[in-house]
Amino acid sequence: MLNALQTRYPSALSRTGSRNPMPANTSAMTENAVSAEEHYALMTEVRDLKNTVAALRSALEQEKIDTDKAVRAAHAAAGSEISQLKATAAALRDALEQARIDRDKSVQDAVVTANHEIVQLRATAGALRDTLELERADKARSVQAALRDATDEINQLKATVSALRDSVEQGRNAG
């Protein structure tokens, strides 16, 4: 820091070699008497330094204000974005839940439809089974009736053949 001041204000530090522009003891003052012009120059430089310090302090305070304002703005923007992201997440969560509900309803509807179809198919199968049983019973009755009719006809034909044979034999015997 001292080097920076020496570089910026060489005349203020050239006489004493320290930051204090006034000599440490009064005997040195008498030996190194400072002229009014040098004193005025030093006082002007001190005033300029004070003004510079004040300006730097003001600039530093303004920079702090600007930084605080930027931080607040960043926090506000981040808060706004967080709110938007939360709202988006909630909306997506709701949409996902609705999709899950819709899927579950679709599955339930499909199960109900499949169960109705199964009931209908079972009823149809039962009706077809009953119809098949009736047709088998009818067929069996028809076959038995046809067999009975055929047996009756065969028996009649046998009786007719037997009667004709007897008649032919009687005609042979009578004749």
Domain count, the chain: 1
13-46 pLDDT, tens digit per residue, is 444 444 444 544 544 444 456 699 999 999 999 9
Q: Taking the CA atoms of the chain, what radius of gyration do you get in angstroms?
A: 64
Average pLDDT over residues 45-72: 96
* 29 in any annotated domain: no
CA distance between the termini of the chain: 174
* 163 in any annotated domain: no
Average pLDDT over residues 38-60: 95
| pTM for the predicted model, two decimal places | 0.43
* 50 in any annotated domain: yes
* 91 in any annotated domain: yes
Average pLDDT over residues 112-121: 96
Would you say residue 68 has pLDDT above 70? yes
* 169 in any annotated domain: no
* Domain membership of residue 15 as a residue range: 2-23+36-155
Q: What is the separation of C-alpha 16 from the centre of its chain, rounded to a whole number of angstroms?
A: 75
